[in-house]
Amino acid sequence: MILVYITLALVFGYILLIIALYVKKSRGLLKKLKESEQSYRDLAEKYEAINKNLEKKIQEEVEKNRQKDHLLIQHSRLAAMGEMIASIGHQWRQPLNSLSLIIQDVREEFEFGQLDELYIDNFTKESMIQIKHMSRTINDFRKFYKPNNEKAPFSIGSSIEDALSIFSSSLKYYGIQLEFEYRGELMAYGFPNEYSQVVLNILNNARDAFVQKDIKNRTIRIQLSETKEFVQAELTDNAGGIDLSLLDKIFDPYFTTRPNGTGLGLYMAKMILENMNGLVMADNYDSGARFVLSVPKVQVTVQPELISVS
């Protein structure tokens, strides 16, 4: 009997020892768990601080890029204004010469005593034609450089014609032959005035290439087409093409091969088209350069035909 009690006491003591060891071990594990939890909290706070600092730096860089883009746009607009003033000079040269001849003729008619009511009427009519032409030029430029605030459907053919009305004096002055014909309306979705500016920038580049390389027979060809998603304008010239080593750089800001170039025309063209969810591509074709402008086309929703069942 005594042996049984001794055995039970030993077993009970062994159990108590195991429990004590387990409690001690559990306390150690609990302590380590608390330490790990604190380490995790410290690490989480550290990463949170890093993330906040990173977000702040990202916001600062985004703001810097916005300011940089704003400066680029402002610089580009100033360059465009310079082109505009030069174009106005070309556009006004002919009507100003006509007005000068008309006024000289009035002086001669006065000296010969041949001023009468019919002559005055003709003088007034011819003068007003020239003045209206000059006024129309100003209106065209004001419309051309007025930015569109919202995207809208527009005809790329009409927008190209708006650019050509600005560029027409350069065509004559530099002896450039233009081939442009389109049938039907290819409707795009975007900013029509900005699209015209893209076309004008590319035309100006072609003109400068003709002059810089002293090309004799100068031709610019514009062709329109469409795909399932885009309407496209392909502008090609025979100005000798683009140096292959420079082809992947021509859309970079401030990159130019011209002594007095700003390097912003093609960069702004790329930005404008991308803002319309479009794109611009350039390569060499035949004896010149080719630019393809792609912008989203207006998707026409076909209404289902109503069928009457009697």
pLDDT by 10-residue block (mean), the chain, 310 residues: 63 62 61 67 73 74 67 63 65 72 76 75 78 70 65 92 84 91 85 89 92 93 93 96 90 76 79 91 94 88 38
d(CA 55, CA 304): 50
Q: Is 217 a member of any domain?
A: yes
Q: Residue 254: its pLDDT value, please?
A: 75
d(CA 272, CA 295): 10
202, 221 Cβ separation under 8 angstroms? no
Q: How far is CA 140 from CA 98, 127, 147, 307, in A?
A: 21, 20, 13, 48
d(CA 282, CA 169): 26
Q: Is 99 a member of any domain?
A: no
Q: Is 178 a member of any domain?
A: yes
d(CA 249, CA 270): 12
Structure tokens belonging to residue 135: 């006024």
Q: Residue 74: its pLDDT value, please?
A: 62
Q: Residue 290: its pLDDT value, please?
A: 97
Number of domains in the chain: 1
Q: Is 48 a member of any domain?
A: no
Q: Is 291 helix (H, G, I), strand (E, B) or coil?
A: strand
The candidate with the shortest Cα–Cα distance to 289, out of 232, 239, 254, is 239
Q: Is 72 a member of any domain?
A: no
Q: Residue 252: its pLDDT value, please?
A: 85
Query: Is 0.75 topped by the overall pTM?
Result: no
Q: Is 194 a member of any domain?
A: yes
Q: Residue 57: its pLDDT value, please?
A: 77
CATH number of the domain where residue 255 is located:
3.30.565.10
Please report, as a single letter, which amino acid is at residue 234: E
- At 174-188, the pLDDT tens digits run 999 999 977 778 999
Q: How far is CA 178 from CA 160, 209, 230, in A?
A: 12, 15, 24
State the first-to-last Cα distance of the chain, in angstroms, to the nearest integer.
Answer: 110
- Cα 302 to its chain centre, rounded Å, is 31
H or E, element range at 273: helix 265-275
Q: Is 277 a member of any domain?
A: yes
The number of residues making up the chain comes to 310
Phi, psi of 250 (to 5 degrees): -65, -20
Q: Is 260 a member of any domain?
A: yes
Domain extent at residue 239? 153-301
